[in-house]
Amino acid sequence: MSTGEKFDAIVVGAGPAGSAAAYTMAKAGLSVVLIERGEYPGAKNVMGGVMYGRMLADLIPTFAAEAPIERVIVEERLWITTDDSAVTLGHKTAAAHGDIPNAFTVLRAKFDRWFASKAEEAGAFLIPATVVEDLIVRDGKVAGVRTGRPDGDLYADAVVLCDGVHSFLAKKAGLQTREIAPHEVALAVKEIITLPPEVIQERFNVGEGEGVTIELYGAVTQEMGGYAFIYTNRDSLSVGVGALMSHFMRTKVTPNGLLERVKQHPLVRPLLAGGQVAEYLAHAIPEGGYRAMPRLYGDGVLVAGDAAMMVNGLHREGSNLAMTAGRLAGETVIEANRRGDVSTASLASYRRRLEESFVLKDLRKYQHLPEFVDRHPELLRIYPGLVNLAVHEMLTVDGMPKRDKQRKIWKAITRRRPLWRLIGDAYRAWKVMR
């Protein structure tokens, strides 16, 4: 490739959003460059580990036969914890998942490499180990990118920014005009803990290729807004915990200390016994939601995925929003390309496409949640405590009549949280989640 060459599109970042965009455009015959700063796609990319099939199948219908899937999720568990107990809830299904698994675990270093290779097969040109340092702007229009390589200027009609959380390029494009606030970002740390597949299957009560997710709320996050998780991979577990940056800053809890406490929780420890830590990972997660999103497009430029705050934290979704947004960005550019017009007005259909999809519908639904979690971390201590207290009391058979038990439980609850506050909390929670 010679310097100054011009393409139909440049995609920055080979994560789920970037590879989806590059794949979509290359498949339609556009000339596409996909630039990745890691030595290989996935080298810098971290997530808890659960991905969703439908949005990937929208791009690659036969992915299940070839993608590096760790385990197909057949059971999801929710643990509401205190320091030494948990009330648990879950859903397990024996129903066949068909050709498209609903949810499955992945290891991103492997998955992202595969996904980017699909974009390459479709005709995209992958340039790894390359940082985009700046955008080339001509007459107010994004006309290309300046990479860190010597003579590394590349030009294109459209540039799709998929450079992740804290996108430098969305700022440079003028799409992100303010600093992201500490309550709009979570910090998560996790470990890959290796265990033999048979041990995982026995411990989590699943068959070969099947997996479990566990989300832990309550005491495990030490009064910070967030949750911990355990996800099963083929021969390892992804064990991690995340909380809002604003809460890490205030509490001075260290992320590694928090994770070590989770691993020592009496209900968690037996699941990890005998495992070897293979890798330690950390990443920021954009949790600001709808109200913290940048403008989604400009003259010759679009933004998708984490770079555009496309995470639904409550539902553990992110990579699926990224893939759908990447695909829609790609489709928008394809249309603009055929019209020969990549101006702001022409790219405006990107937003409309997102509005019509689950991406912006879901983000809008939960637009007040990030602020709520930031302001009320105490609820994640109080309510798990109350739930555990109530259930523990009901299950303790000590000769006390059940009606007396109910009274005792109610008294204990209202002593810790008066009735008017319970009603207020319920109302506020309903308001941000309805």
Please identify, among the stretches 117-125, 180-188, 360-368, 425-433, the one whose residues bind other proteins according to the rule CB under 8 A.
180-188
Out of 85, 147, 232, 332, which residue is the one contacting other proteins (CB under 8 A)?
Answer: 147
- Binding to other proteins by residue 260, rule CB under 8 A? yes
Q: Which of 181, 314, 348, 432 binds other proteins (CB under 8 A)?
A: 181
CA-wise closest residue to 154 among 165, 143, 163, 162: 143
Other beta carbons less than 10 A from residue 375's beta carbon: 13
Of 143-151, 209-217, 354-362, 414-422, which part binds other proteins (CB under 8 A)?
143-151
Residue nearer to other proteins on the CB measure, 280 or 410: 280
Structure token pair of residue 49:
């580990």
Per-position DSSP letters for 304-353, written without gaps between them: -GGGGT--BGGGTBSHHHHHHHHHHHHHHHHHHHHHT--SHHHHTHHHHH
281 binds other proteins (CB under 8 A): yes
Counting contacts by CB under 8 A, is residue 168 touching other proteins?
yes
> CA nearest 5: which of 126, 159, 155?
155
Q: Which of 54, 45, 163, 59 is nearest to 107 (CA)?
A: 45
Based on the shown chain and the rule CB under 8 A, indicate whether residue 249 belongs to the binding site for other proteins: yes
Number of residues that bind other proteins (CB under 8 A): 54
Residue 320 C-beta: closest distance to other proteins, Å: 17
Please identify which residue in 73, 126, 162, 189 interacts with other proteins, judged by CB under 8 A.
Answer: 189
Interface residue with other proteins among 19, 31, 45, 82 (CB under 8 A) is 45
Query: By CB under 8 A, what part of segment 91-130 binds other proteins?
Result: 107-112, 128-130
Q: Any idea what the Cα angle at residue 386 is, between residues 384 and 387, rounded to 5°?
A: 65
Binding of other proteins by 46 (CB under 8 A) = yes
Outline where DSSP puts E strands in 5-66.
6-12, 32-35, 50-52
Q: How far apart are CA 187 and CA 254, in angstroms?
A: 11
Amino acid, single-letter form, for residue 63: F
Q: With binding defined as CB under 8 A, does residue 184 bind other proteins?
A: yes
Task: Please report whether residue 38 would count as binding other proteins according to CB under 8 A.
Answer: yes
Q: Which stretch binds other proteins (CB under 8 A): 91-99, 207-215, 249-257, 312-320?
A: 249-257
> How far, in Å, are 28, 193, 369, 430 from residue 380 at the CA level?
48, 27, 14, 15
Residue 402 CA to residue 389 CA, distance in Å, equals 15
- The H-or-E segment that residue 75 falls in is strand 72-81
Find the part of the chain contacting other proteins (CB under 8 A) among 17-25, 165-173, 333-341, 357-365: 165-173
List contacts with other proteins (CB under 8 A): 37-39, 42-47, 107-112, 128-131, 147-149, 164-166, 168, 179-182, 184-185, 187, 189, 191-192, 236, 245, 248-249, 252-256, 260, 277-284
